[in-house]
Amino acid sequence: MIGQLILNGFINAALLAPPAVAFTILFGILKFPNFAIGAYVTVGAFAAFAVNVQLGLPIWVAVVGAMAAGAAVAWLSDALVFKPLRGHAPVTLLVVSIAVAFILEQCVRLFYGGNVRGFDLALERPMRLWGLRITKEQLEILVISAVITLLVHLLLTYTAVGKAMRATADNPGLAEVRGIPHRRIAVFTWLLCGAIFGLSGFLAGLDLVIEPHIGWNLTIPIFAAAILGGIGSAGGALLGAILVGIAEELTVLVLPTTYKVAVGFLIITILLLFRPHGLFGQAEIKK
Amino acid sequence: MSAYLVAMATYVGFFMILALALNLQWGMTGMVNFGIAGFYALGAYASGILTAKAGWPVGFGMLAGAAVGAAAGALVALLSVRLRDDFLAIVTLGFAEVVRLICLNEDWLTEGPRGLKIDARPFGSVFGREDYALFYLALVATAVLAVFAVAEAIRRSPYGRVLRAIREDDVVASVLGKDVLVFRVATFAIGAMFMGLAGALFAHFIQNISPYTFLPTVSIFIWMSVIVGGAGNNKGLLVGAGVVMLILEGSRFLNDFIRVLDAEKLSSIRIILIGVLLIVILRFRPSGLMPEEKFKPTSD
Amino acid sequence: MSNDAPLRIEGLRAGYGQADIVHGVSLSVARAEMVTIIGPNGAGKSTLLKAAAGAVRPRPGSSVTVAGREVAGLPASEIARAGVAYVPQEANVFRSLSVRENLELGAWSDRRRIADGLARVHAIFPVLSERAGARAGLLSGGQRQMVAFAMALMLEPAVLLLDEPSAGLSPVMVDQMFEAIIAVNRTGVAILMVEQNAVQALKISNRGVVMAAGAVAATGTAADLLADRSVAELYLGAAR
């Protein structure tokens, strides 16, 4: 029982880890929590649905479609909304990002309504590994998520553009005077993170069902994972995702399942009361 | 038709109280509250449960609704007064979601998703049906005026000036220490009290409350009202609340005439419209329709 | 000759928001020349450097030429690529990145030259190669200043803009930093420096510029300024 819950927790974590890492990277250049990330996830899920079910193309094309759609809406939301509004108070931008989330989600609803959908995949019986149940889709989620998270880690650690992204997040003014063009790095970051959110939409649709609220429901657990890991740290976000993922599953032991959604919030609240900068975050020096 | 207008005006009144309360909290203390729907729900359910289940008179129920809002506000503020803005936003949003989940799941108390039926109405037996709607509108309007007056009084008080000055400057705030902390918590609690009052007024107006009324969208619409109207300006946000409510509810009225789109699509378009309105206004009138009046710090 | 000076600033105005802080400053720095700007706090020294580097946008009508090329109004990253390396006074390293990564980022726009650049700056500051893996934010103030300076040297800039390179350093470290600056200057780099430590800075400089209230109040050779009694009383006294 516990073993199955922990396994489920890891699958949960696999859904949260890539978007939590992307969220924390994006936060590095935006400096406010972008609530529209859930909507990028939703757009990714529906793009994958459109490619796979409506166009009847194979599932891997749907993955590409999800990533492209996620990257496109993320970049567009920056170009049309966040970039022109730069300079407003972070709280205003936060409200604006929720407005963007509403707009995107309602656009999806306009076309697809509120119905629940799924990919065109044959149902298979769950496999059994050491007495634990896992479906083929869940196994795929674990693998894809691990690969993506590893790739992002390698990108940030070893490539020139990854280092420039970290430098820009750390100190944008200094990065610019050292010859690192802020705008180009920002656009690259938006596209990369958007693609990851799109992919997360595909993964979420694989595990759950596809509906317009799919992304909003993931938003708070994603924030919880990123904050737990200390905003700005990709490795921390991964660890945070695992903790939140497992915590959400384990709470069914003490609370009715209906309260599962609240776990992310409770984790954030309790954590922030004792460590206002996250579990692994460091106190920022305010200027 | 006129019944519809009266009902809509009453709705605008609830929004205005919420917006004034939010502006009191944010404008005075700089503490961001994204849990408006939670305080609103607490006030509504407190008054609803006490009158419908415990048989309290309506007046006491409403007072209790306001008191529960204030208590919850004080608690949230005490726990989170030290948090960064963005974290506070998430924590308060979470608070509202937890309140909503409790309302949804604790059937024995709240009747869960079926909704809580509330028969009690203030002075329900005095007026006829048509007149009662007008009476209630007057009641809500009085509440709006009272809240407006209190908010303005706090804003203009010496403490209000100090608070607004230090809102801009965390260093000063930490130097001034405990008094400021107490006043910030108190101001936040007063705002939450107004939100609870708005909830109680709403509960006895609609007479059937369910958790689906108190979605996070409510909090966001109030924030949009405040930003559209001009953060910090109490008159401006009354306009903002009116504009947002007009789009939300006014297009329903449009629907009676144009039957091209089904209700679901229309609801989507409404929300898209409000979102676009917010972005457009921020783009072309960065300080909102009516910006905060600059005050001169007295040099003493 | 004078037209393609490494750095020439003419009629430069700059500020924040509506208010101007620098009101029409003109000066130029020749190859291998070192110019120190002195003046009271708030005179606009730092803003002048920032505007020259593009970190603050100069007002229209200002001119900044680098080897004859107009760069005023370009993004800071473009000006950096044109050969101007600006070292801010504060927040001048990437705190969350390692020393090695900081230095590599100094050569981001021409990454083939990373190895060459590392060899050069390690020769100037050997300690940076020992601490290559350390997080820059955890270094001592002196070592952090070295990283900031070394990062700016990675691509062999033609112009160095240094804002208070000795701020917060121990006397020993100040000497070491000034020695490094002299060494770089001897390789032909034009240096424009703002320094609180005015006497020591003027002693190693060719020329000095006195700024007050956003404008140039006096200029002269470093020796003349050091000898000038009114300058000494007004601007050098407190620093001595």
Domain housing C24: 1-83+187-240
ipTM of the complex: 0.91
Residue B269: its pLDDT value, please? 87
Asked whether residue A121 is assigned to any structural domain, the reply reads no
User: Which pTM does this prediction carry?
Assistant: 0.89
Whether residue B260 is predicted with pLDDT greater than 70 in this model: the reply is: no
Task: Provide the percentage of residues in chain A whose pLDDT is more than 70.
Answer: 95
Residue C15, C-beta contacts closer than 8 angstroms, at least 6 positions apart: C21, C22, C47, C56, C59
Counted domains in chain B: 1
Token pair for A160: 């020139």
Q: Is the pLDDT of residue A287 over 50?
A: no
Tell me, what's the pLDDT at B1?
58
Question: By CA distance, what is A233's nearest residue in C?
Answer: C96
Look at chain C and report how many structural domains it folds into. Answer: 1
Instruction: Name the residue range of residue B69's domain.
Output: 2-215
Mutate: best of A170, A177, A183, A285, partner C, most C CBs <10 A: A177
Burial of B208 (0-12, 13-18, 19+ CB in 10 A): middle
Q: Which of B82, B223, B272 sits opposite A106 (nearest CB)?
A: B272
Q: Band of the pLDDT at B300, cuts 50, 70, 90?
A: very low
The parts of chain C modelled with pLDDT lower than 50 are 1-2, 238-240
pLDDT of residue B171: 57
In degrees and rounded to multiples of 5, residue C22 shows phi and psi of: -110, 125
Residue B262 φ/ψ, nearest 5 degrees: -80, 165
User: Using the 8-state DSSP alphabet, how is residue C98 labeled?
Assistant: B
- Can you say whether the dihedral through the CA atoms of A222, A227, A233, A235 is positive or negative? negative
Inside any domain, residue C204: yes
Query: For tokens 């937890």, what's the residue?
Result: B98
Give the pLDDT confidence score for residue A164 in this predicted structure: 96
Name the residue type at position C236: L
pLDDT at A1: 75
CB contact under 8 A, A261 and B97: yes
Q: Could you tell me if residue C44 is inside a domain?
A: yes
Q: What is the mean pLDDT of residues B92-118?
A: 90
Q: Is C177 inside any structural domain?
A: no
Chains near B (3 or more Cβ pairs under 8 Å): A
Angle between helices B178-206 and B158-167 (to 10 degrees): 100
**Whether A180 and C111 lie within 8 Å, measured CB to CB:** no
What is the reported pLDDT for C40? 87
Q: Does any domain span residue B242?
A: no
Domain of A8, CATH number, reads: 1.10.3470
**Chain A: residue nearest C153 by CA?**
A178
Q: How confident is the model at residue B65 (pLDDT cuts 50, 70, 90)?
A: very high
Asked whether residue A174 is assigned to any structural domain, the reply reads yes
Query: Is residue B250, in this structure, part of any structural domain at all?
Result: no
Mean pLDDT of the A214-226 span = 89
Residue with tokens 């759950």: A208
Calpha distance A183→B95 (Å, rounded): 37
Does the residue C72 lie in any domain?
Answer: yes
Q: What is the pLDDT of residues B130-174, one digit of tens each?
A: 788 899 999 999 999 999 999 999 888 887 877 777 676 655 555
Please indicate whether residue B127 or residue B17 has the higher confidence score (pLDDT).
Answer: B17
Residue B205 domain flag? yes
Range B57-84 average pLDDT: 91
Give domain status of residue C97, yes or no. no
Work out the mean pLDDT of chain B and round it to a whole number.
85
pLDDT band at residue A279, thresholds of 50, 70 and 90? Answer: low
Burial A99-108, CB ≥16 within 10 A → b, else e: bbbbbbbbbb
Question: Could you tell me the CATH number of the domain that includes residue C32?
Answer: 3.40.50.300
Return the higher-pLDDT residue of A261 and C168: C168
Count of domains for chain A:
1
- Nearest Cα to C111, choosing from B112, B249, A179? A179
Query: Which of B282, B285, B287, B292 to mutate against chain A (most A CBs within 10 Å)?
Result: B282
